[in-house]
Amino acid sequence: MQILVALDQSKFAETVLEKAILLARQLGAAMTLMTVAEDFMDIGDYMDTEKVTAKLLADAKAKATEYAAKAKDAGVDAAVLVDQGTSPADLIIEQAEKGKYNLIVMGHQGKKGLSRYLIGSVAGRVVSHAPCSVLVIR
């Protein structure tokens, strides 16, 4: 069994990680922890987007390393994958297809208001398009 655990950098990601670790131990599954650094879109001359994008990637890598250490402390060795792009959902789905995972574990998206309906949640997109089962932690 191969589990892909999609984690953002929120406080709730810790809860998702804890539940994924329990599940991996119960199933004797291999686990890959995936974080996605959003790619800052070009907004013209108002901001150095390359620096912002590089900082987001560095922060995601640091958090992924922290998550892997927590998993190891809990007795589960986990591979780490950090990706960067404008659509976290598409990157998670693409990785699930390439890695032939049996299950994706992720948290629900916390967007509120109009942006939730215009953009849609990451979890909703993954559930709709994933090539495998998806466990959404609430």
Report pLDDT for 111. Answer: 47
pTM for the full model?
A: 0.89
Is residue 96 a contact partner of residue 131, using CB atoms and an 8 Å limit?
yes
Reported as a single tens digit per residue, the pLDDT across 86-114 is: 899 999 999 999 999 999 999 986 544 54
Report pLDDT for 118. Answer: 47
Helices (H), the chain: 12-27, 49-73, 88-99, 114-119, 122-129
Reported as a single tens digit per residue, the pLDDT across 26-76 is: 999 999 999 999 886 655 556 677 888 889 999 999 999 999 999 999 999
